[in-house]
Amino acid sequence: MHPFVLFGYNFPDLGFLVWIYLVPLILGIHRYSLKHKIILCFLCSMIGHYGVFYWLMTAMQRYGHLNFFESFATMTLLFIVLSLVFAIFLAFACWINHLIKLPFFFILPLFMVAHDVALHHIPFHGFPWNIPVYTQREWIQFFQWIDVTGIFGLSFFIYLINGLFADAFLLFIHRKQLDKMVSRLLIIFVLVLLSLYGSFLSNRNYENTKVSKGTINIALAQGNISQDIKWDPFRAQDNLNAYLQLTHLAVKEGADVVIWPETAYPYGVRLEKMHEEKFLDKEQLLAPILFGAIVSQSTLPKKELYNSVVLADTDAHLKAVYRKIHLVPFGEYLPLKEWLGYLKALTENIGEFTKGMDYTLFDIEGFKLAPLICFEDIFPKYSRIFSNKSADILFNVTNDAWYGDSSAQYQHLVFSQFRALENRRYLVRATNTGLTAIINPRGEVVDQLEPFKAGYLIQNIKVDRAMSYYTKHGDQWVNVVLVLCALVFVYTVIKRWLGPVKLEF
Number of domains comprising the chain = 2
Q: For residues 45 and 70, state if they share a domain.
A: yes
Residue at 85 is within a domain: yes
From first to last of the 505 residues of the chain, give the pLDDT tens digit: 577 877 777 888 888 999 999 999 999 998 888 999 999 999 999 999 998 888 888 878 777 777 888 888 888 998 999 999 999 999 999 999 888 878 889 999 999 999 999 999 988 888 999 899 999 999 999 999 999 999 999 999 999 999 999 999 988 887 777 888 899 999 999 999 999 999 999 999 999 999 888 999 999 999 999 888 888 888 989 999 999 999 999 999 999 999 999 999 988 888 877 777 767 666 677 899 999 999 998 876 778 899 999 999 888 888 899 999 999 887 777 766 555 555 555 555 555 889 999 999 999 989 999 999 999 999 999 999 999 999 999 999 999 888 888 888 999 999 999 999 999 999 999 999 989 999 999 999 999 999 999 999 999 999 988 899 999 999 999 999 999 999 999 998 888 887 665 555 5
Determine the Cα–Cα distance for residues 245 and 253; give it in Å rounded to an integer.
13
Q: For residues 225 and 357, state if they share a domain.
A: yes
SS3 label, residue 33: coil
Q: For residues 175 and 271, state if they share a domain.
A: no
Residue at 247 is within a domain: yes
Determine the Cα–Cα distance for residues 116 and 127; give it in Å rounded to an integer.
10
Is the distance from CB of 226 to CB of 401 less than 8 angstroms? Answer: yes
Q: For residues 246 and 322, state if they share a domain.
A: yes
Q: For residues 37 and 81, state if they share a domain.
A: yes
Domain residue limits at 95 = 5-208+475-498
The CATH number of the domain holding residue 395 is 3.60.110.10
Residue at 503 is within a domain: no
Residue at 118 is within a domain: yes
Handedness of CA 271, 395, 355, 227 (dihedral sign): negative
Residue type, 8: G
Closest CA to 377 of 435, 334, 320, 433: 435
Q: For residues 187 and 217, state if they share a domain.
A: no
Q: For residues 286 and 314, state if they share a domain.
A: yes
Is the distance from CB of 292 to CB of 283 less than 8 angstroms? Answer: no
Q: For residues 14 and 134, state if they share a domain.
A: yes
Q: For residues 60 and 156, state if they share a domain.
A: yes
Q: For residues 134 and 202, state if they share a domain.
A: yes
Residue at 408 is within a domain: yes
Residue at 504 is within a domain: no
The pTM of this model reads 0.92
Q: For residues 192 and 259, state if they share a domain.
A: no
Q: For residues 115 and 46, state if they share a domain.
A: yes
Determine the Cα–Cα distance for residues 127 and 375; give it in Å rounded to an integer.
10
Q: How big is the chain by its Cα radius of gyration, in Å?
A: 24
